[in-house]
Amino acid sequence: MQQRPLGRTDLRVSRICLGTMTFGEQNTEAEAHEQLDRAVERGVNFLDAAELYPIPPKAETQGRTEAYIASWLRARGNRDRMVIATKVVGRSTSTWFRADGSEPRLDRRNVIEAVEGSLKRLGIDCIDLYQIHWPDRPTTGFGSVPTRWKTPDPVLDEVAIEETADVFQDLVRDGKIRHAGLSNESAWGTMRWLTLADAGRAPRMASIQNAYNLLNRTFETAQAEIAVREGVGLLAYSPLAQGYLTGKYAGGALPAGSRKALFDRLQRYEKHGTAEAVDAYVALAREFGLAPATFANAFVLAQDFVTASIIGATTMAQLDECLAAEDVAWTAEMQDAVDGVHQRVGNPAP
């Protein structure tokens, strides 16, 4: 599998990253290990987790994902060949993440507790890429404002980026983390972090993990140029729009065992116009003789601002369809066809 530099670091990562948020909820430990083995067999060396996982987040399962990765690393003895990424939660009202039951923030106490917890659960001495899952400040992330900017209500006790940056500097210095990354961040937030890094006040962000798929190409508007010019490549999550781009929910279908059937948490990809857009992209994939999941993942891999596409699956068949994107020779004809649909449907599910 092709590898790409992780930002301006000395790490090289497979251009497909295995997302693990189903481990511990929809996937058992044995199933998680099976997925990990298959991904590595296909050349994947990059794993993405979070202290939040598995999804949906809840107190009784929190941390299982990292624990399942740890048991696999111990069993296979391959820690030195893997690039392990995980995340600290941003500002949240969920109080089960911290030992004292307080609401998580991105201040020193919270970040230190979070990183120590992840290191223990993962069974490793150093995290290769430690990411801020979402900012402390109010933002319009997670598709909350789909069509326009709306200034969020201010929060008087917002933790400044500068304060979080100080903690991350210390984590790098102390060898707890090798590199830092962002997630669900805006163009402004990314540049603010880079400005602090240039002034020697923050580690340089190596990547940004935001949603990017055929239904949501908003990253291209402002952040793609930052990714290329500043070496902060995109780790694209939700390349299948939480499964919608496979076509499995077409016509109102609700497959047994699907994420929608189990949790009904897919509203981000159920906005006005998304059904028509999905139908168009699924039809396009079939015109090119590809499974819709493979086609959608291949589109993400083909974009030059993408460092890696974070795939996720609950079955081995799904995993294989996603991994097959590595073998697709993305053509100008495919890109033109996708862009033609995009001109008509836009970004219905940002």
User: DSSP state, 212?
Assistant: -
Q: What is the DSSP string of 157-193?
A: TPPPHHHHHHHHHHHHHTTSEEEEEEES--HHHHHHH
Assign 236 to helix, strand or coil.
Answer: strand
The span from the CA of 329 to the CA of 98, in Å, is 46
Angle at 35 between CA 125 and CA 66, to 5 degrees: 30
The span from the CA of 119 to the CA of 176, in Å, is 8
Q: Which residues contact 280 (CB under 8 A, 6 or more apart)?
A: 341, 344, 345
- The set of long-range contacts for 333-340, using a CB threshold of 8 Å and a minimum separation of 24, is 334/288, 334/298, 334/299, 334/302, 335/299, 335/302, 337/284, 337/287, 337/288, 338/214, 338/281, 338/284, 338/299
The span from the CA of 265 to the CA of 197, in Å, is 36
Side-chain-facing half-sphere of 15: CA atoms under 13 Å: 20
Does residue 130 have an active-site annotation?
no
Q: How distant, in Å, are the alpha carbons of 263, 270, 349 from that of 266?
A: 8, 7, 11
Side-chain-facing half-sphere of 184: CA atoms under 13 Å: 19
Instruction: Spot the catalytic one: 53, 68, 130, 237.
Output: 53
Bridge partners, residue 27, by sequence = 23
Q: Which residues contact 198 (CB under 8 A, 6 or more apart)?
A: none
The span from the CA of 9 to the CA of 17, in Å, is 17
Question: Which residues are designated catalytic?
Answer: 53
